[in-house]
Copies of this chain bind each other. A is one copy, B any other.
Amino acid sequence: MRSGDTEHRSIWLESDGWSVGIIDQTRLPEAFETSRLTTLEETAAAISRMQVRGAPLIGVTAAYGLALSLRRDPGDEALDTARRTLLATRPTAVNLRWAVDRVTAVTLPLPPEERARAAYGEAARLAEADVEVNRRIGEEGLTLLRNAASNGGEGPVQVLTHCNAGRLATVDLGTATAPLYLAHEEGVELHVWVSETRPRNQGAALTAWELGRAGIAHTVLVDSAGSYLMAQGRVDLCIVGADRVAANGDVANKIGTYPKALAARDNGVPIYVAAPLSTIDRTLADGGAIPIEERNPDEVTHVRGRTADGEVALVELTPPGTRAANPALDLTPARLVTGLITQEGLVPASPAGLNSLPWSRATVRSRRA
């Protein structure tokens, strides 16, 4: 992402060779600020406070968190504590566990003095693999957008997205947004309906910011309005991300994905879920087994934004003392999903579709990437 003259990924190794830079996403769109992670504890806090968020980015951040921890204490006990600390930060995103397991598998067989270096190496490989995976997801999705452009009649291809499965949710390019960036580069005319994504407004704050930087036309909507636009025939297709996909194709993603999928079905609009293989959890038979994160109710009752003076302020929306509930994700049944866009192709959201993916090859590839 461009900020001033600098092109940023969402996470990077600092020039000191060991500390980890991130974009503090809780400060966007008010301010583009970077933050430097130097310890396991800072890394875990950055994930749970959502300074970094998005399933793929959480995975890579956790991998660096293990490296930071091993740098201080490479012993088995410290490694185990670090694993547990990181796994407890966000319960739903399976990439977190996947990345932590990858780094553990690489480091645990090694003598302690070699572990930190190996962990940094694996974290860097995961980061590079993420960008490559997203590029391939982008190419798969690009075909869908090209087809929509040639079938869709007049005007730009109208895409609806929810939350931020964008550059900021990954190391770069994004999952759901990768097809948009590639299509835009190629000159496909696009317009993106950006669902604001209460309570944390990742659509209004992050996706709008990303698309704006990339020069892609977009319009922000309240979350409830997507279904109305679909009923009006103003959406050609929906693309969303995923926090976890179960073995039957059920999708856990940001709260509000399920009602959009219902509206898509009711109006014959295709809805695709962009999901790297690391997001697919074949250990869970269906979505009912995916843990759904319940976050602090303050995120519902209070909203952060800029005042007319340009100051950042937190304002309370509800009468004092009002109770709120804050489920952070919902489950979209596989029957409502048109297809999963993975780095290995577009597959049906079904057991057969998921089984058709080249699991062993994918693992080897991303390990080598």
Contact = CB atoms under 8 A, between A and B. Distances in A.
Contact of A225 (B221, B304, B330): B330
Contact of A198 (B218, B224, B322): B224
Interface of A: 29, 193, 196, 198-199, 201, 204-205, 208-209, 212, 218-229, 231, 255-256, 258-260, 262-263, 266, 292, 300-308, 313-319, 321-327, 330-331
**Majority DSSP secondary structure for residues of A touching B:** mixed
Given A225-B330, A307-B313, 4 more contacts: A196-B198, A196-B317, A204-B300, A307-B315
Nearest to A195: B224
A144 to B, nearest CB: 24
B301 A220 contact: yes
Given A266-B262, A305-B303, A331-B231, A319 B29 contact: yes
Identical chains bound together, number = 2
Contacts of A331: 228, 231
A330 B307 CA distance: 30
Contacts of A225: 255-256, 325-327, 330
25 contacts: A29-B318, A29-B319, A196-B317, A198-B224, A204-B301, A204-B318, A208-B319, A218-B323, A220-B300, A220-B323, A222-B256, A222-B326, A225-B255, A225-B256, A225-B326, A227-B262, A231-B330, A262-B263, A262-B266, A303-B305, A303-B317, A304-B315, A305-B316, A306-B316, A307-B315
Given A201-B317, A307-B313, A224 B301 contact: no
A221 B225 CA distance: 17
A300 to B, nearest CB: 6
Most B-side CB within 10 Å, residue of A226, A258, A313, A317: A317
Nearest to A266: B262
Contacts of A305: 302-303, 315-317
A222 B255 contact: yes
A315 B313 CA distance: 7
A235 to B, nearest CB: 12
B317 A204 contact: yes
